[in-house]
Amino acid sequence: MSHTNLRKAATGLVSVLALCSAIVLPGSATHAGMPDLSSAAYPVAADQWPYVGGDQAGTWFSSLTDINDGNAAQLGLAWSYDMGTERGQEASPLVIGGVMYTSGVWGIVYALDAASGKLLWQFDPGIDPMSARNACCDTVNRGVAYRDGVVFVASEDGRLHALDAKTGTEKWTADTIINRKQAYASTGAVLLTGDAVVIGNSGSDLGDGSSRGYISAWDIRTGKFKWRFFTVPPAPDQPYEHPELAMAAKSWGPNRDGKYQNGGAVWDGLSYDPQTDQIVFGTANASPYLRVKDGSERHDDLFNASIIAVNARNGHMNWYYQETPGDSWDYDAVQKFVFANLPIGGTPRRVVMQASKNGFYYTLDLKSGKLLAADAFTYVNWAKGVDLVTGRPQFTEVADYSHKPKNVYPSWAGGHTWNPMSFSPKTGLVYIPSLDVPNVIFNMAHNGGALAHLEGFFNADGVIPDETYDTAGFKRLFGALPEKSELQKERPGTKLVREILKAWDPVTRKVVWQQVTSEGNRGYDGGVLSTAGNIVVQGRGDGTLWVYNATTGQPITKLQTGSHIMAAPMTYKVGGVQYIAVQVGYGGSGISFPIPPSSAAYLNQNTNRILVFKLGGGPVPPPDKRVNPFDYPEPPASTATTAMIAHGEEKFTEYCSRCHGFGPGVAPDLSRLPPEIHSMFNDIVLKGALAQLGMAPLDDLVTKDDVEAIHAYLIDQQRQGYDAQHKKTASR
């Protein structure tokens, strides 16, 4: 498929070979005479980046030193590659034997010459765009895996693909989805163990169609199914697939509704430790996560919001630790893990660490799962701490929003989310792309607003009090919310919404240095790379790529790319030259929000690119400008009543706002529709007239009258914008 067609398929109006050097690495015989395929037989060469996180410890650290704190100011562009799409980019490429392998939206795979950017081959998994409806947060992909001349990827529709690394030819494929009537999608990077390819999925947030979490393992050579571990119990009248689920079911209480699938998706954060031969992964929120908000009837809901370790050969559970019992705040525990050997309490320990969405930094013994430390790395007010004996959080009154809105830190976006953190063995510090962001969260059924449901939030909502926070504008739909001035009293002198790059010492358990990266509105800033050259590299939502001194946090340089950066950079060396690479493009969980006005991508097209830098390189050419991004075409005439428009606003908010916002973004701004789209609006929403572009029909969610009301509301919004636009022009 051409770049032009890829861009159209991924965005559209309404949505969305050269031979490489063979790598011979040492191996050893193992049981049954099979070659040992575990990572222990695959040492990481300093000039390569063979895993999404750089190594199997997930450190996002490189021992390369050619680019360092003394010369990083000389960085410039070496080469760039246009990926042909315009969605969110969240993967970090691999580089092996001089070839770069990476994935983009839908699970498209690219192989490029790592020194020049020349395309060697491209694999398109052939996704049915209708499946985009199952993607909670854009059709993103977080990376590929490589082993013995084979590249592995999970496409957005939940299929695993094994590709010949020289040609991109598919060797085998496996369908990992157990029930295609549920809202399953795959966005995470695949994981390789000694003999298997492992993947989870997403879908905990999508209402009555939400999915039941699990991970599954497939034979690395043949793609045949090996085992599956479910993270939550089945419906009350169904048998347990494995014994751990009997224990889990007891923690759900008597009021569990069997129509829900319980959630617990594993959409990111899969890690494998060859020393213990176990897979460590985190699980997402419950589904629904607002059943009983009253603290008097709170149940743990295992194994949601938990860290789980299973035997990599058979999937049997070794241990678990639940970070957020009875999660009611969307505190997924799927953030990426780092394995390390650290002195904890003066004793050397092999540990697993995570900066969790719930705001606490957890350190556990990797072999036993024993909790060793849990400390707030960002501002937290839903709990006053974690009891290290019981492992349970100590809830505050802020945690209970069942009858009154509460401003909860961190927000549903988390104190840290999917964006990778980095651990430097050289400095001993962990560099966390943290969020200092609250949300006013409330029970929609009890707050007096017109809405009692919001797709993706069940009957709760969390409104982030950024610079667009408008209590008067929210009141009709959501009810009364606290004024921003009232919220500010909790932390006077501090912006309510900030993103901060923090250097955290996991031994002394404190912040060593920090840099604020955005304020006022979320920038959706990127993940982090650290190196032995004593540098830390992070991209921001405003389009800049920053390099810091890893020890002091002092900025060394910044490069303007003209593109929004969410993914974590990586580094490699080819032909004696060290490079730093990063994929750029806005989307992901911000798909429904306009690109931040502070972003260089606000006025530029959201062109997905791979940008590669070296010492002595040149400036980065920005993408093409957007064409009239703020113009309102004249809308069609409308005779809709005020009541019809109000009903349309409600239905738009319930079912459309998850993807569509007002302003330049990923999904189109429906308040600026051209005449040809207005004329086919009903057919698009009810009949899937643009399904080939990713806009699946919503006929199972809304009626014809609902759609006509939604259209009336959008016409009204467009009329207001058009009139204001012409009034402003006339006054000049």
- So which residues are the catalytic ones? 330
**Which DSSP string corresponds to 154-209?**
E-TTSEEEEEETTT--EEEEEE--S-TTS--B--SPPEE-SSEEEE--B-TTSGGG
Q: Which of 434, 546, 568 is nearest to 91 (CA)?
A: 568
Contact 242, 214 (CB under 8 A): no
Beta pairing class for 145-147 and 119-123: unpaired
Contact 120, 112 (CB under 8 A): yes
For residue 579, give Cα distances in angstroms to 73, 114, 529, 612: 14, 9, 13, 6
Neighbours of 494 (CB within 10 A): 12
Contact 165, 101 (CB under 8 A): yes
Helices marked H in 479-520: 484-488
Q: Report d(CA 596, CA 566) in Å as an integer.
A: 13
Q: Report d(CA 81, CA 87) in Å as an integer.
A: 15
Q: Which of 286, 275, 351 is nearest to 323 (CA)?
A: 286
Q: Report d(CA 587, CA 135) in Å as an integer.
A: 12
Structure token digits, residue 474? 């929210």
647 CB-near residues (< 8 Å, 6+ apart)? 706, 709, 713
**Which DSSP string corresponds to 674-715?**
-HHHHTTHHHHHHH-TTGGGT----TTT--HHHHHHHHHHHH
Q: Report d(CA 42, CA 147) in Å as an integer.
A: 9
> Residue 639, class by beta-carbon neighbours within 10 Å (0-12 exposed, 13-18 middle, 19+ buried)?
exposed
DSSP letter at 399?
G
